[in-house]
Amino acid sequence: MMFPKSLQEKLDLRDANNALRSLKFSNELTDFSSNDYLGFSKSEIIFDQTHQFLVENKYKTNGATGSRLISGNHELYALSEDYIAKFHQSEAALLFNSGYDANVGFFSSVPQRNDIIFFDELCHASIRDGIQLSNAKSYKFQHNDVEDLEDKIVKFQSSNSNIFIVIESVYSMDGDSPNLEDLVSLSEKYNCYLIVDEAHALGVFGERGDGLIQLLGLQSKVFARIMTFGKGLGCHGAAVLGSNQLKSYLVNFARSFIYTTGLSPHSVATILIGYKTLSGQPKSIIDLKSNIVFFNQEKMRLGLKPMFVYSKSAIQCAIVQGNDNVKRIAHELQEKGFDVKPILSPTVSEGQERLRFCLHSYNSQEEILAVMACLYSLL
C-alpha cells in the first residue's frame, strides 16, 4: 500500500537522529521508569476492593454505553466526583477520560478570543495542544521565572481581556516545582486566573498525597486544578477541580468531555477506591518520601548532584547530552537490570537529553544504592 513520501521522510529523519520511537512490552527489570509512584497499579487490595464494591452495588456492566450527556452518566460518577471534591477541598470536580482529555477540553474551551494565556515553556504537550485549539492569544514565559512572567503580563495585558496563567506543580521532564506562593501573589496582583496541573504531585506531596497546592494551603486561591490518575493513583482518568460554575461550563463547552463515551463503572470505581486508599494515609506515601530523600542523599554522596535537575519529587533527571550518548548509558543500565529510560530530543530540547529516574514506594534502598553506583561507574 502506498504511503505519503513526506511522512516517510519525517520517519527517516527521526531514525537518522536516533530518535525514532517504537512500542515495547513491559519487562522484569527493576522499575525506575513508570509513573506508578505508590504501586497502586499493582495493588491486589485495590483490585479486590474495586471488584467487591461493584458487586455489592450491582454494577455488572462493562461500559458506559455513551457520552455522559446521553446515556453514560451512571451514579458512580456523582459519588466519585463528590468524594474527589471533598478530598481536594474544592467546590466541585468533573471527571474526564484522561489527563490529555482534561487539558485539551479545558484549554480549548475556557479562554476566549480576547483573552490571554501565559504558560510555562515546559508545560506538557496536552496543555499546549489545548491552548493551540483555543481562540485566545498565548505567550510562553521562561521556566519557573516569575519575573519574566510579570514582565509579559505588564506588556500584553489589556482592559478587556481575562488573563490565564498556566503551570504545573511538578514538571514531568524535570521533576522540579515553581514557587507557587509567588505565582498566587502575582495572579492576585494582576487579577489573573491561575491553573495548576498536578498530575505528578497527586500521591506524592501532602500527608494523604493530596498534592502540592493543598500542602501549601493554596487551594482557595487557584482557579482550577487538573488531577491525573494514571500516575500516583495507578489507574486512568483525570478530574478538573474548581467552582460549580466552572464544572457547568465544562459540561456545556468542553468538546473532549461532550463528544466521547464515558468511563466504564469499573474505571470510575477504581478511581474512587484509589482515593479512599489515599484517605487512609497508606504506608506507601511514607515509603515514597523516604526513597526520594535517600536518592537525593546518594546524589550528594557520589558527587552526582551537579548533573541532576534540582528536584524533591519522585522524578529525578540526570542531564546526559546527545541522543546517542544518553541511549547508550540507558541501555547499559538496562543490561545491569535497571529500567531507566532515556529522554531524547525533540521530547526535550537538544542538549537537554537526560536519564529519567522515577522513584516508587516499592523501590528498596538497596536498589537505589545499586542503580546509583552503576550510574557512577558508567560516567
What's the CATH number where 371 sits?
3.90.1150.10
Beta strands in 32-74 (DSSP E): none
Same-domain status, 323 and 341: yes
Domain enclosing residue 366, as ranges: 29-40+282-378
Name, in order, each residue with C-beta under 8 angstroms of 306's C-beta and a sequence gap of 6 or more. none
Do 159 and 172 fall into the same domain? yes
Q: Are residues 252 and 314 in the same domain?
A: no
Residue 13 maps to a domain: no
Look at residue 18 in the predicted model and tell me its pLDDT: 84
Amino acid at residue number 180:
L
Whether the Cβ atoms of residue 169 and residue 197 lie closer than 8 Å to each other = yes
136: phi then psi, degrees, rounded to nearest 5:
-80, 160
Overall number of domains in the chain = 2
| Domain match, 151 and 213 both | yes
Question: Cα 266 to chain center, whole Å?
Answer: 22
Final residue belonging to a domain, choices 255, 279, 303: 279
Instruction: Choose the final residue of a domain: 279, 311, 334.
Output: 279
User: What CATH number is given to the structural domain containing 90?
Assistant: 3.40.640.10
Same structural domain, 190 and 78: yes
Are 272 and 216 members of one domain? yes
Contacts of 220 (CB under 8 A, 6+ apart): 89
Half-sphere exposure of 152 (CA within 13 A, CB side): 21
- Whether residue 126 is found in the same domain as residue 249: yes
| 234-271 tens-digit pLDDT | 999 999 999 999 999 999 999 999 999 999 999 999 99
Confidence (pLDDT) at 21: 87
- What dihedral angle (degrees, nearest 10) is formed by the CA atoms of 134, 136, 139, 145? -90
Phi/psi of residue 59, nearest 5 degrees: -95, 90
H or E element: which one contains 116? Answer: strand 116-120
If one counts every other C-beta atom within 10 angstroms of the C-beta of residue 129, the result is 14
Same domain, 133 and 86: yes
Task: Spell out a b/e string for 58-88, using b for 16 or more CB atoms within 10 Å of the CB, else e.
Answer: ebeeeebeeebeeebebebbeebbebbbebb
Residue 224 belongs to a domain: yes
Q: How far is CA 356 from the centre of its chain?
A: 15
Q: How far apart are alpha carbons 239 and 81 in whole angstroms?
A: 8
Q: Is residue 125 part of a domain?
A: yes
The model's pTM is 0.94
Q: Both 271 and 135 in a single domain?
A: yes
First to last CA, the chain: 46
Q: Do 264 and 323 have their domain in common?
A: no
**Same domain? 94 vs 198:** yes
Does 209 share its domain with 254?
yes
- Among residues 252, 279, 306, which one ends one of the domains? 279
Low-confidence ranges of the chain (pLDDT < 50): none
CA gap 246, 342 in Å, rounded: 39
